[in-house]
Structure 1
């Protein structure tokens, strides 16, 4: 152990990969990372390990077992791994840095003609937890029922908290499985020349946060969804909905039948919504805000931006006070006012 403590960081990482017994000793050094990102592209696995001191360990692995590269600051190691697979390196580094999950897992580019996922399956089946799954540069075929990509994604859906899909998915019905998945956050983007999502595609999504860019939704469908929420017939987990609409927003059509009340635009009310808006346009700003309240007292805010973006934020539910508590609160207020008067 004294010898291990004198090694520099790269030597410790390289030693941990050498054998399970070596990894057991290196793990006792309690090196802790901030988070880990994985990026998968063709036959390459790119791993980035981020630390609190702003340092970063980069690991490039070839699934064909050609070469492994480690970079940390000015240090650079590389070797030919022999019979080891990328899973041995990824899990070993996660173990010695005491990392329990992957922050971002990105599928960078998907080949329509010759997708190669067989070498990645052993890695994906052993990842314990993934905070966010990101799929970039997709096509409609990528999510069709026969797609090899979809079969691979189904392996990691059960351990994923959030899913982000970039554009080029031209057939919205292929994404219904993601809408209905048990995720905390779902973010989807459609090409501008695609009609968009119908209400049947997303009205029963299970996500707490749902973002649809594109434009992705008709104003009439959005109004119908708000009415379902008023009747408690929509997703009960929904906390935040951000959608891009077709054309200019007509307030009368969007808010028809909702008994919406216009409220002043305040930064403390719109802080979370504004954070979502900024990812679409740098000059995005809220022009109107309306509150709607359903029969059980649950309140939500509908925000309309100057770029056709509609944000829907559900406020935390507060149970009605009992009659005793209301009387106690009234008595307490009266008592305090009397004390202040005599002071």
Structure 2
């Protein structure tokens, strides 16, 4: 195992003036096994999460005990040269603490094994089928998927199958947890072959490729499609309308109504206390942290480079417990 150190006397993100050291650690020179070594590093650095974990090749140590120490992983990547046994065991341990999982190979030997994995409570699953072209993601696979967000780079689903999935949603037969689906296809997509029988409603005249469909219980989904470089990208958003953007300016806000109450009223009208994405920029002139406290779920939280440190820290303290990906 190895640890990389970066020492920078000026700006940390810029490594032009950095010193670099790579030192291998083994049980012989440290007296620690892999699990103990990682636990010590995380403890010393006061780090409870991993930004990205890449699984490649065959590990010389039993890494699965080590993985059991991790509490949060933002991105987990399973690469082509990762052995199937190691990949499956790692997914069993890490899928519950990973915000985003990308499969560059299919480690499951049977369809039943794969569907058991799909039924897990996953947050974001990205299946990059370009790296294993013989694999076909079926309509049955899609129906059992329990991920919040599913991205199929080219799952080999044809338009008839995609339309059938939408028909199943209209009949309330789909897994309600799947909120966001992205599919790519080389078939020529139009409103007729993709949305046949769904009674779609165009969102606006200047967005002819974005549609609402609504079922009997009044729940609605948004479907968009566009052609990029000869490939069609289809997006399905369950119970999701047009994105809402809120801008707060001290010159226009009614000071008789607290900001948190104002946001609460907006979310109440929308019948939603969930935000798909929050971007924090600059230094707000209003105390928006009270408004953040009423949110029950945030899918993605981004701290931008121009966000002031004090605002970022206060926002993180409030939003981290309800945020899926930071």
Q: What RMSD, in angstroms, separates the aligned Cα atoms of the two structures?
A: 3.7
Please state how far the C-alpha of 1:98 moved relative to its aligned partner. 2.4
CA contact (8 A) 1:239 1:314 kept: yes
1:282 alignment partner in structure 2: none
Give the Cα separation in 2 of the matches to 1:212 and 1:84. Answer: 41
Q: Secondary structure at the match of 2:188?
A: coil
Give the Cα separation in 2 of the matches to 1:85 and 1:265. Answer: 63
Give the Cα separation in 1 of the matches to 2:169 and 2:32. Answer: 52
Give the Cα separation in 1 of the matches to 2:180 and 2:167. Answer: 16
Cα-to-partner distance string for 1:181-228 (whole Å, 9 max, x where unaligned)? 111111102137436211111212111111111243111111111112
2:259 alignment partner in structure 1: none
Please state how far the C-alpha of 1:97 moved relative to its aligned partner. 2.8
Give the Cα separation in 1 of the matches to 2:211 and 2:64. Answer: 48
Q: Secondary structure at the match of 2:156?
A: strand
In the alignment, structure 1 residue 55 sits paired with structure 2 residue 1: no
CA contact (8 A) 1:164 1:188 kept: yes
Give the Cα separation in 2 of the matches to 1:91 and 1:235. Answer: 38
Residues 254 and 169 of structure 1: is their aligned pair in 2 closer, same or farther, counting only changes over 3 Å? Answer: farther
Please state how far the C-alpha of 1:291 moved relative to its aligned partner. 1.1
CA contact (8 A) 2:212 2:223 kept: yes
Residues 238 and 79 of structure 1: is their aligned pair in 2 closer, same or farther, counting only changes over 3 Å? Answer: closer
Give the Cα separation in 2 of the matches to 1:225 and 1:255. Answer: 11
Structure index of larger Rg? 1
Give the Cα separation in 1 of the matches to 2:158 and 2:143. Answer: 13
Give the Cα separation in 2 of the matches to 1:292 and 1:49. Answer: 52
Please state how far the C-alpha of 1:172 moved relative to its aligned partner. 8.0
CA contact (8 A) 2:225 2:233 kept: yes
Unaligned runs of 5+ in 1: 1-43, 59-71, 267-285, 322-343
Unaligned runs of 5+ in 2: 242-266, 271-326
Residues 179 and 138 of structure 1: is their aligned pair in 2 closer, same or farther, counting only changes over 3 Å? Answer: farther
Please state how far the C-alpha of 1:93 moved relative to its aligned partner. 2.7
1:104 alignment partner in structure 2: 52
Cα-to-partner distance string for 1:68-92 (whole Å, 9 max, x where unaligned)? xxxx931537476332233334222
1:90 alignment partner in structure 2: 38
1:294 alignment partner in structure 2: 215
Q: Secondary structure at the match of 1:154?
A: helix
1:187 alignment partner in structure 2: 126
In the alignment, structure 1 residue 126 sits paired with structure 2 residue 126: no
TM-score, length-normalised on structure 2?
0.60
TM-score, length-normalised on structure 1?
0.58
Q: Secondary structure at the match of 1:206?
A: coil
Please state how far the C-alpha of 1:320 moved relative to its aligned partner. 9.4
Give the Cα separation in 2 of the matches to 1:228 and 1:197. Answer: 17
Give the Cα separation in 1 of the matches to 2:62 and 2:95. Answer: 18
Give the Cα separation in 1 of the matches to 2:219 and 2:154. Answer: 29
1:312 alignment partner in structure 2: 236
CA contact (8 A) 1:170 1:194 kept: no
